[in-house]
């Protein structure tokens, strides 16, 4: 399974048909693309118009949803303490991927230091 980060969804929203989109659709075709609560909030919460937000809620709702457990929140807190540049939202996303044994598909280089913590980047 591959957890798709907010940065990927934003890139697709802004530039359809990109290389990023091709990589994502390959994952989708193999039913390997997933989301989590933090990605949902970051991406869907960015739409101010109700109709547009509902459209993307419907689209993202088709993807498997990885849970963020109490253990993941504990891991996120430890990651954030060691890597404060990451920010709380990204720490939660990284910890959710690690705890679920998923790779992370991201365009954000701030995740790279977490490879030493067990995060596998796609």
Q: Any idea what the CATH number is for the domain that residue 51 is in?
A: 3.40.50.1010
Count up the domains in the chain and report the number: 1
Highest mean pLDDT among 9-13, 89-93, 116-120: 89-93
User: Containing domain of residue 88, as a range?
Assistant: 2-121
pTM score of the predicted model? 0.93
Check pLDDT > 80 for residue 17.
no
Residue 97 structure tokens: 């991927």
Report helix, strand or coil for 80: helix
Strands 65-66 and 2-4, bridge-based pairing: unpaired
């Amino acid at each position: 399974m591959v957890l798709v980060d907010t940065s990927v969804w934003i890139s697709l929203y802004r530039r359809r048909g990109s290389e990023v989109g091709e990589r994502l659709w390959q994952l989708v075709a193999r039913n390997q693309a997933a989301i989590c609560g933090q990605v949902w909030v970051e991406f869907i919460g960015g739409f101010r118009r109700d109709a547009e937000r509902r459209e993307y809620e419907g689209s993202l709702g088709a993807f498997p949803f990885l849970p963020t457990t109490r253990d993941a929140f504990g891991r996120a807190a430890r990651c954030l303490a060691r890597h404060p540049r990451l920010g709380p939202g990204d720490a939660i996303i990284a910890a959710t991927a690690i705890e679920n044994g998923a790779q992370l598909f991201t365009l954000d280089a701030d995740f790279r230091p977490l490879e030493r913590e067990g995060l596998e980047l796609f």
